[in-house]
Structure 1
Amino acid sequence: MTIQSLNHVTIRSRDLETTRNFYVDIVGLRDGERPPFGFPGYWLYAGAAPVLHLIGSRGSTATGSGAVDHVAFAYEAEDYDRVVAALAAHGFDCARQTVPTHGSRQLFIEDPDGVCVELNFPAA
């Protein structure tokens, strides 16, 4: 048995529209086709893959990342300054880190439901 890749991550959201807008407008995913399940939600795509699924909270009051610490998205190295500027324009204060062993840069922000989101850029 060999796993081919991670298929997707699902985030339970208290406000689907706000969370969808965050991942589309801020992170850069694309809203795409989703099967007609019997509950509201979105499938958000990176390229042709629906990597992030959003579903309603079903009345849950739980917040934060829970057992999953964060979700990370990969960008091209040359996107770093553009993404930092876009985050600032949307009022996001992000934590920044450079990985000592290979120089990749990371930005950390929280989505509208308190999930930690890492934006990862390889060394230039």
Structure 2
Amino acid sequence: MAIADMNHFTVLSSDLERSKEFYINILGLKEGYRPPLAMPGAWLYAAGDQSILHIMAGRPMPVQAAGVIDHMAFTASDLQAVVDTLKQHNIDYELHRMKELEIWQLFCHDPDGAKVELDFSADEPEPRQ
């Protein structure tokens, strides 16, 4: 067996509409086809026909987290626009310039606490704070 690519992440949501607001209106993913499943949720896409993030709702949040995944990371662009949007929605973030990797790393959390990393080209100018 050889792994060829990452298929998708699934996040649990205590409020589907609030989670969709974050991932769609703040991070810029698009809602797309989702088969008719028993649980409410959404499948989100960046581009193309492969969903990259599934949101599952309609059941209580687990008391104990399953697994040990620390965060999910996305390649992104337009650092200033993302910073402006996060500020507009009062979403805290941390921004680090990783010169040796030639990227900016921005970390924030979704409405249910999942850590999200957005990676931007180091060529992007430092955003106005």
TM-score, structure 2 length as denominator?
Answer: 0.86
Quote the RMSD (CA, aligned, Å).
1.8
Number of the residue aligned with 1:29: 29
Number of the residue aligned with 1:97: 96
- In the alignment, the residues of structure 1 paired with residue 45 and residue 8 of structure 2 have an alpha-carbon distance, to the nearest angstrom, of 10
Number of the residue aligned with 1:44: 44
- Could you list the runs of 4 or more consecutive aligned residues of structure 1 that deviate by over 4 angstroms after TM superposition? 63-66
Structure 1 residue runs without a partner (length 5+): none
- In structure 2, do the counterparts of structure 1 residues 75 and 63 end up closer, same or farther at CA, with 3 Å as the change threshold? farther
Number of the residue aligned with 2:127: none
- In the alignment, the residues of structure 1 paired with residue 42 and residue 122 of structure 2 have an alpha-carbon distance, to the nearest angstrom, of 32
1:122 shift after superposition: 1.7
Letter in 2 for 1:70: H
- In the alignment, the residues of structure 1 paired with residue 92 and residue 46 of structure 2 have an alpha-carbon distance, to the nearest angstrom, of 24
Task: Give percent identity, aligned residues only.
Answer: 41
- In the alignment, the residues of structure 2 paired with residue 63 and residue 21 of structure 1 have an alpha-carbon distance, to the nearest angstrom, of 25
- In the alignment, the residues of structure 2 paired with residue 118 and residue 19 of structure 1 have an alpha-carbon distance, to the nearest angstrom, of 16
TM-score, structure 1 length as denominator?
Answer: 0.89
Instruction: Classify the secondary structure of the residue corresponding to 1:108.
Output: strand
- In structure 2, do the counterparts of structure 1 residues 19 and 41 end up closer, same or farther at CA, with 3 Å as the change threshold? same
Structure 2 residue runs without a partner (length 5+): 124-129
**Conserved in 2, the CA contact under 8 Å of 1:13 and 1:19?**
yes
**Conserved in 1, the CA contact under 8 Å of 2:13 and 2:61?**
no
Aligned: 1:53 with 2:92: no
Counterpart mapping for 1:1-124 below 5 A: 1-48=1-48, 49-56=50-57, 58-62=59-63, 67-76=68-77, 79-124=78-123
